Structure 1
Amino acid sequence: MSLTFVLGGARSGKTRYALAEADRLAAEGGGRRVLLATAEALDGEMAARIARHQAERGPEWTTLEIPLALPRAVAALQPRDVAVIDCLTLWLSNLMHAEAEIAEETQALIAALHQSPADAVILISNEVGQGIVPDNALARRFRDEAGWMHQAIAGAVDRMVVIQAGLPQVLKG
Structure 2
Amino acid sequence: MLVFVTGGVRSGKSDFAERRAISLLKENGSNLHYIATNQVYDKEMQERVKRHQQTREKSGANWIVWEQPRKIDELFSHFKKDDVLLLDCVTTLVSNELFSGWETNSEKWKNVVFQFEIEQNLKCLFSQLAGAPWHVVIVSNEVSYDGFASDEGTKVYKRLLGRLHQHIVLLAKEAIMVECGLPCWKKGGIRT
Per the TM superposition, whether the score is higher than 0.5 is: yes
More moved, 45-54 vs 136-145: 45-54
**Structure (1/2) with the larger helix percentage:** 2
Unpaired runs of at least 5, structure 1: none
Judged with a 3 Å threshold, the aligned counterparts in structure 2 of structure 1 residues 74 and 152 are, in CA distance, closer, same or farther, namely farther
Structure 1 residues 164 and 74: CA distance shift in structure 2, 3 A: farther
| CA-CA distance at 1:74 after TM superposition | 4.5
Looking at structure 2, the residues matched to 169 and 53 of structure 1 have their Cα atoms a distance apart, in angstroms, of 22
Report what 2:149 is aligned to.
134
Q: Are positions 1:13 and 2:12 aligned together?
A: yes
Match of 2:80, SS?
coil
Identity %: 31
Kept in 2, the 8 Å contact 1:5–1:153? The answer is yes
Separation of aligned partners in 2, 1:76 and 1:159: 25
Pairs aligned (count): 171
The structural deviation recorded for 1:51 is 2.4
C-alpha RMSD of matched pairs (Å): 1.7
1:87, 1:125 within 8 Å by CA — same for their partners in 2?
yes
The normalised TM-score by structure 2 is 0.82
Q: 1:143: which partner in 2? A: 158
- Supply the distance in 2 between the matched residues of 1:30 and 1:149 (Cα, whole angstroms): 27
Equivalent residue number for residue 91 of structure 2 = 89
User: Retained in 1: the 8 A contact 2:130–2:172?
Assistant: no
Q: CA deviation at 1:116?
A: 1.9
- Aligned equivalent of 2:50: 51
Per-residue CA distance 1:136-165 (angstroms, 9 max, x = gap)? 111111111111111111111111111111
Runs of 4+ with deviation above 3 angstroms:
none
SS of 2:26's equivalent in the other structure is helix
Post-superposition Cα deviations, 1:87-123, rounded to whole Å, max 9, x if no partner, equal 00000010111246321222221232134221x1000
1:39 is paired with a residue of what secondary structure? Answer: coil
Distance 1:43 1:29 in 2: 38
Return closer, same or farther for 1:137/1:82 CA change in 2, 3 Å cut-off: same
Q: Does 1:172 align with 2:187?
A: yes
Q: Does the 8 Å contact 1:74/1:116 carry over to 2?
A: no
Counterpart amino acid of residue 81 in structure 2: P
Asked if 2 retains the 8 angstrom alpha-carbon contact of 1:74 and 1:112, the reply is no
Give the C-alpha shift of residue 76 in structure 1: 4.2
Q: Which residue pairs with 1:3 in the alignment?
A: 2
- 3-state SS in 1 of match to 2:70: coil
Identify the match of residue 120 of structure 2 among 92, 101, 104: 104
Matched residue of 1:102: which SS?
helix
Q: TM-score of the superposition, structure 1-length normalised?
A: 0.90
Paired residue for 1:63, among 62, 65, 85? 65
Partner of 1:32: 31
Distance 2:160 2:123 in 1: 13
